[in-house]
């Protein structure tokens, strides 16, 4: 079967002052009906990728010049209007007219998607119902809560019943309840047969929603697989995070030498280790520290998850915090 | 048709924005209203702002068998009730005593109607000179009297033609002298010289016979100036929505819909034109209703309004194309629009649309041509007369538009 989204060899360098390679050779395919997530820390290049897939940014010619973007078989480069008609884009930042009501916004955007007459009216009513704002339809967007704005922001992208929807961090900065309802909404869309390209830097979201996850870092996709397969990359390893009462650097070398320690990295005064079996490795870490007269002040043990995968692949933590 | 959807959406948003409404309609009408009230006070209060000028009037007119005592009609007009607050007329026997009164400061102004005043109306070749002498130490009062007198004599020029024409016909035996004097009297009645209260300050074109409020001719150019200034402001402010939408992400969102970039940009351009044309139309109608301002013949006024919308809109688009972000818009709009606006409209703000203190400088600005066209239209000019101004405005619009589109297309499309 043909891919819903086919992306090959995208490059994008921003040249303002210094040149920054925001996207560096990204390729992936998403099958129809799949939820595919781009997971990566701030600045990984997720939004830049989505922008190229929405024809908002022109990809640079890659090293081979052979870049391509196809949506449901239509090339975004040679048939942009036909390809864009297949896509609903939910931008990362809310892009609505704050001085208009939700209803007026939806009607305007429906017209921009080419809807007319009764179809326009029924679709606007359906979307209002779907995002649960029928009662508040005539209120101005500026009077809405953050979560309600996010829902309208998503609703706009669903008006023309697209085959493919891009959602760029749709849950940033909202309350848990709104977040839950958005995640449920995404799953409902998948159940209706829609293909979803989702970006996030919350690994829990990627884990819960996605059929497949591409981990992005510094403009590159460094892994692309199902959640289970990604976890398998780190094997049976466990992540241990420790704090000590002195400079973290003091213990890097001694602990690296310990049996069973595979990766060690300092992240914001904490020392993160990937180990084979925490039960066996932990006592050795304590012994080594005691021999050096260093006190361990906190210990955190984490079973393998996407965070561990990211640490394993990059030597850094996924989240800055 | 999506471009029209975009334009209408912008128009709706402008009408919902207090800020836009204030600058589109509020300020122009309020400022004009202020002047209206100020001038209204001059006319209506019992204690006039301008002191009554003492006028020494010598009517030497000998009269004429055919045309009657036209000098006397001018005397009657100057003594009419409506002008009594502006001038206090004292009749004197001869020119010498009239002059003497000015010299002795018993009068601010002396007016001497020559002996051949009536005669000259039956002789197409004759030249009449009504003498006007003023106390050089006075400024405002004599000027007012002089302008009233000028307006009256302008209207006499109309009569003179009428009379001359009538006489020709009479010689052919078509009209009796009685009929001629009836025509003259009717004309006088129609222009209300000799009769009632309205002071005839604005009768430059005899074609505009319906009664005009004198304030209209003072407030009209102010309203025109306000309208042009704020049309340019609205043009720039609406064009600025391209940058605002870029910063708010709605422009990008439009680009993600299956809509050609050129269609989206066209929609934004339509929205500028549409908003300014709505603004100008509403302002003209409102000023007509509220202040009774006459904009001239329908075709002239409508075409001028259209040309103003074009040049104001495209000027705004060009200005915006030079901005990096909306943060700069305040300074650039304030600077560019104030400078070009003031230069273009200097003739209105110096109080005399006829004189040109800065020579041709105003004509280097689009506002200058807009002012010129609208004042001509208000003066009753036909489309043919203002066509050159309109064509220059269209030419300027094309230049502004090409520059603006060229810069914006390379950025957004
Ligand atoms: N228009 C631009 N001009 C210059 N640099 C840019 C531009 N847009 C993005 N960048 C840079 O490109 C890199 C990738 O940015 P991008 O927005 O794609 O990241 P992201 O993965 O979406 O991050 P986040 O999770 O914070 O949204 C960043 O370093 C960013 O500063
Ligand atoms: Mg982003």
Smallest CA-to-CA distance from B132 within B143, B140, B121 is with B143
Q: Which of A33-42, A57-66, A211-220, B165-174 has the least mean pLDDT?
A: B165-174
Confidence of residue B19 (pLDDT cuts 50, 70, 90): confident
Distance CA B318, CA B407 (A): 8
How confident is the model at residue A47, as a pLDDT?
A: 92
The predicted-structure confidence for A255-271, as pLDDT tens digits, reads as follows 888 888 888 888 888 89
pTM above 0.90, yes or no: no
The answer to whether A97 contacts B5, with C-beta atoms less than 8 Å apart, is no
Give yes or no for residue A201 CB within 6 A of ligand 1.
Answer: yes
Mean pLDDT of chain A: 87
How confident is the model at residue B345, as a pLDDT?
A: 78
Kindly identify the ligand whose nearest atom is closest to the C-alpha of A90: 2
Give yes or no for residue A48 CB within 6 A of ligand 1.
Answer: yes
Q: A105 to chain B, minimum CA–CA distance in Å?
A: 9
The answer to whether B256 contacts A87, with C-beta atoms less than 8 Å apart, is yes
Give me the helices (H) in B345-382, please. 346-349, 366-378
Compute how many other C-beta atoms are within 10 angstroms of the C-beta atom of residue A29.
16
The answer to whether B259 contacts A81, with C-beta atoms less than 8 Å apart, is yes
Q: How far is the CA of A67 from the centre of ligand 2 (A)?
A: 22
The predicted-structure confidence for B282-309, as pLDDT tens digits, reads as follows 999 888 888 778 888 888 889 999 999 9
Compute how many other C-beta atoms are within 10 angstroms of the C-beta atom of residue A303.
11
Distance CA B134, CA B114 (A): 17
Mean pLDDT of chain B: 78
Distance CA A124, CA A53 (A): 26
Provide the 8-state DSSP code for A164: E
Tell me if B337 sits within 8 A of B367, measured CB to CB: no
Confidence of residue B187 (pLDDT cuts 50, 70, 90): low
Domain A236-303: give its CATH superfamily.
YebC, transcriptional regulation domain (3.30.70.980)
Helix (H) or strand (E) holding B342: helix B329-344
Q: How far is the CA of A197 from the centre of ligand 2 (A)?
A: 13
Q: Which residue among B248, B258, B260 places its CB closest to the CB of A95? A: B248
Strands A296-302 and B87-92: unpaired
The answer to whether B249 contacts A91, with C-beta atoms less than 8 Å apart, is yes
Distance CA B238, CA B9 (A): 12
Tell me if A267 sits within 8 A of A41, measured CB to CB: no
Tell me if A256 sits within 8 A of A305, measured CB to CB: no
Q: Report helix, strand or coil for B323.
A: coil
Smallest CA-to-CA distance from A220 within A313, A304, A93 is with A313
Distance CA A123, CA A183 (A): 22
Smallest CA-to-CA distance from B389 within B354, B355, B360, B363 is with B363
Give yes or no for residue A43 CB within 6 A of ligand 1.
Answer: yes
Compute how many other C-beta atoms are within 10 angstroms of the C-beta atom of residue A65.
9
Query: Which span out of B211-220, B227-236, B284-293 was modeled with the highest average pLDDT?
Result: B227-236
Tell me if A88 sits within 8 A of A168, measured CB to CB: no
The answer to whether A100 contacts B13, with C-beta atoms less than 8 Å apart, is yes
Give yes or no for residue A22 CB within 6 A of ligand 1.
Answer: yes
Residue A216 CA: nearest ligand 1 atom is 21
Tell me if A164 sits within 8 A of A72, measured CB to CB: yes
What residue of A is the nearest CA neighbor of B2? A112
A197 forms beta bridges with A36, A166
| Sheet containing A35-39: order of strands | A87-90, A164-168, A195-200, A35-39, A212-217, A220-225
Q: B260 to chain A, minimum CA–CA distance in Å?
A: 7
Phi, psi (degrees; rounded to nearest 5) at A26: -90, 130
Q: A83 to chain B, minimum CA–CA distance in Å?
A: 8
Distance CA A83, CA A4 (A): 11
Tell me if B129 sits within 8 A of B153, measured CB to CB: no
Torsion of CA B42, B47, B53, B55, to 10 degrees: 110
Confidence of residue B31 (pLDDT cuts 50, 70, 90): confident
Tell me if B309 sits within 8 A of B280, measured CB to CB: yes
Please report residues of A whose CB lies closer than 8 A to that of B256. 54-56, 84, 87, 89, 91
Q: B311 to chain A, minimum CA–CA distance in Å?
A: 28
What residue of A is the nearest CA neighbor of B8? A108
Q: Which residue among A56, A81, A108 places its CB closest to the CB of B260? A: A81
How confident is the model at residue A156, as a pLDDT?
A: 94
Fold exhibited by the domain B53-190: D-Maltodextrin-Binding Protein; domain 2 (3.40.190)
Q: In the predicted model, is pLDDT for residue B195 greater than 50? A: no
Tell me if B142 sits within 8 A of B86, measured CB to CB: no
B257 close to A (CB below 8 A):
yes
Please report residues of A whose CB lies closer than 8 A to that of B17. 99
CA–CA distances in Å: residue B311 to residues B188, B296, B372, B389: 43, 20, 14, 12
Q: In the predicted model, is pLDDT for residue B42 greater than 60? A: no
Give me the helices (H) in B172-297, please. 177-191, 214-239, 241-248, 250-256, 261-291
Give me the helices (H) in chain A, please. 46-53, 80-84, 102-112, 117-130, 146-158, 176-191, 203-209, 227-233, 249-256, 278-291, 306-314
Kindly identify the ligand whose nearest atom is closest to the C-alpha of A17: 1
Distance CA B408, CA A58 (A): 17
Which residue's alpha carbon is nearest to atom 5 within ligand 1? Answer: A14
A168 forms beta bridges with A199
Strands A270-275 and A238-244: antiparallel
Please report residues of B whose CB lies closer than 8 A to that of A94. 249
Confidence of residue B106 (pLDDT cuts 50, 70, 90): confident
The answer to whether A81 contacts B249, with C-beta atoms less than 8 Å apart, is no
Confidence of residue B38 (pLDDT cuts 50, 70, 90): confident
Question: Where along chain A do the CATH 3.30.70.980 domains lie?
Answer: 236-303
Distance CA B28, CA B36 (A): 12
Percentage of chain A modeled with pLDDT above 70: 97
Distance CA B86, CA B200 (A): 12
The answer to whether B249 contacts A99, with C-beta atoms less than 8 Å apart, is no
Q: How far is the CA of A274 from the centre of ligand 2 (A)?
A: 29
Compute how many other C-beta atoms are within 10 angstroms of the C-beta atom of residue A94.
20
Distance CA B56, CA B90 (A): 5
Confidence of residue A62 (pLDDT cuts 50, 70, 90): low
Which residue's alpha carbon is nearest to atom 19 within ligand 1? Answer: A43
Q: How far is the CA of A169 from the centre of ligand 1 (A)?
A: 13
Strands A18-30 and A5-16: antiparallel
Q: In the predicted model, is pLDDT for residue A23 greater than 70? A: yes
The answer to whether B259 contacts A89, with C-beta atoms less than 8 Å apart, is no
Query: Which of the pair, B349 or B154, is modelled with greater confidence?
Result: B154
Burial class (CB in 10 A: 0-12, 13-18, 19+), A19: exposed
Residue A48 CA: nearest ligand 1 atom is 18
Tell me if B232 sits within 8 A of B365, measured CB to CB: no
Helix (H) or strand (E) holding A9: strand A5-16
Confidence of residue B201 (pLDDT cuts 50, 70, 90): very low
Domain A5-231: give its CATH superfamily.
P-loop containing nucleotide triphosphate hydrolases (3.40.50.300)
Domain boundaries, chain B: 2-43+212-411, 53-190
Distance CA B261, CA B273 (A): 19
Question: Where along chain A do the CATH 3.40.50.300 domains lie?
Answer: 5-231
Give yes or no for residue A91 CB within 6 A of ligand 1.
Answer: no
Q: In the predicted model, is pLDDT for residue B46 greater than 60? A: no
Helices and strands in chain B, H and E counts:
16, 4
Q: In the predicted model, is pLDDT for residue B73 greater than 60? A: yes
């Amino acid at each position: 079967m043909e891919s819903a989204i086919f992306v090959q060899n995208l490059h994008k360098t921003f040249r303002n002052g210094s040149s920054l390679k925001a996207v560096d050779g990204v390729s992936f395919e998403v099958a129809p009906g799949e939820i595919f997530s781009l997971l990566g820390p701030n600045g990984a290049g997720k939004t830049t990728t989505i922008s190229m897939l929405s024809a908002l940014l022109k990809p640079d010619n890659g090293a081979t010049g052979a870049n391509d973007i196809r949506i449901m078989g239509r090339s975004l480069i040679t048939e942009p209007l036909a390809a864009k008609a297949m896509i609903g884009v939910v931008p990362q930042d809310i892009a609505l007219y704050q001085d208009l009501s939700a209803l007026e916004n939806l009607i305007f955007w429906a017209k921009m998607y080419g809807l007319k007459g009764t179809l326009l009216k029924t679709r606007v009513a359906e979307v209002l119902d779907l995002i649960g704002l029928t009662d508040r339809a005539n209120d101005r967007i500026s009077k809405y809560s953050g979560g309600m704005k996010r829902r309208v922001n998503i609703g706009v992208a669903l008006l023309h019943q697209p085959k493919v929807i891009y959602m760029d961090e749709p849950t940033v900065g909202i309350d848990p309840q709104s977040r839950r309802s958005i995640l449920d909404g995404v799953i409902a869309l998948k159940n209706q047969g829609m293909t979803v390209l989702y970006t996030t830097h919350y690994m829990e979201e990627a884990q819960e929603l996605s059929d497949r996850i591409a981990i992005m870092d510094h403009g590159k996709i460094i892994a692309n697989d199902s959640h289970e397969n990604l976890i398998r990359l780190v094997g049976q390893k466990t992540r241990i995070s420790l704090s000590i009462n002195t400079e973290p650097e003091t213990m890097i070398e001694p602990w690296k030498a310990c049996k069973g320690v595979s990766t060690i990295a300092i992240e914001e005064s904490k020392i993160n280790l990937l180990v084979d079996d925490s039960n066996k490795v932990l006592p050795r870490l304590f012994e080594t520290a005691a021999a050096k007269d260093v006190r361990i002040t906190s210990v955190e043990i984490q079973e393998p998850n996407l965070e561990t995968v990211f640490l394993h692949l990059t030597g850094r933590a996924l989240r800055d915090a | 048709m999506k471009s029209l959807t975009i334009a209408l959406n912008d128009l709706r948003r402008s009408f919902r924005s207090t800020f836009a409404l204030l600058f589109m309609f509020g300020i122009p009408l309020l400022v004009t209203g202020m002047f209206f009230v100020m001038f209204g006070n001059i006319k209506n209060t019992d204690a006039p702002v301008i002191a009554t000028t003492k006028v020494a009037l010598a009517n030497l007119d000998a009269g004429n068998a055919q045309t009657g005592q036209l000098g006397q009609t001018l005397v009657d007009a100057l003594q009419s009730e409506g002008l009594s607050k502006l001038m206090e007329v004292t009749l004197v026997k001869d020119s010498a005593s009239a002059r003497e009164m000015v010299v002795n400061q018993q009068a601010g102004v002396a007016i001497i109607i020559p002996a051949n005043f009536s005669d000259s109306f039956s002789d197409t070749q004759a030249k009449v000179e009504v003498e006007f002498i003023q106390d050089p130490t006075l400024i405002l009062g004599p000027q007012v009297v002089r302008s009233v007198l000028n307006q009256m004599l302008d209207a006499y020029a109309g009569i003179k033609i009428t009379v001359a024409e009538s006489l020709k016909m009479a010689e052919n035996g078509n009209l009796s002298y009685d009929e001629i004097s009836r025509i003259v009297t009717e004309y006088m009645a129609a222009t209300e010289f000799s009769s009632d209260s309205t002071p005839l300050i604005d009768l430059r074109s005899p074609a505009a016979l319906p009664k005009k409020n004198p304030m209209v001719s003072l407030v009209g150019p102010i309203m025109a100036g306000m309208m042009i200034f704020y049309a340019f402001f609205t043009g720039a402010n609406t064009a600025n929505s391209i940058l605002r939408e870029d910063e708010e992400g709605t422009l990008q969102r439009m680009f993600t819909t299956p809509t050609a970039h050129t269609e989206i940009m066209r929609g934004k351009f339509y929205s500028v034109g549409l908003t300014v044309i709505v603004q100008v139309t509403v302002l003209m109608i409102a000023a007509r209703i509220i202040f009774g301002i006459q904009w001239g013949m329908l075709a002239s006024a409508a075409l001028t309004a259209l040309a103003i919308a074009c040049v104001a809109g495209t000027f705004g688009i060009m200005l915006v194309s030079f901005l990096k972000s909306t943060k700069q818009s305040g300074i650039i709009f304030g600077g560019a629009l104030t400078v070009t606006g003031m230069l273009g409209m200097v003739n209105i703000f110096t109080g005399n649309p006829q004189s040109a203190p800065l020579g041709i400088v105003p004509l280097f600005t689009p506002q200058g041509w807009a002012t010129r066209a609208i004042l001509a239209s208000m003066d009753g000019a036909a489309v043919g007369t203002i066509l050159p101004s309109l064509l220059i405005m269209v030419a300027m619009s094309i230049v502004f538009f090409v520059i603006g589109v060229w810069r914006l297309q390379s950025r957004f499309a």
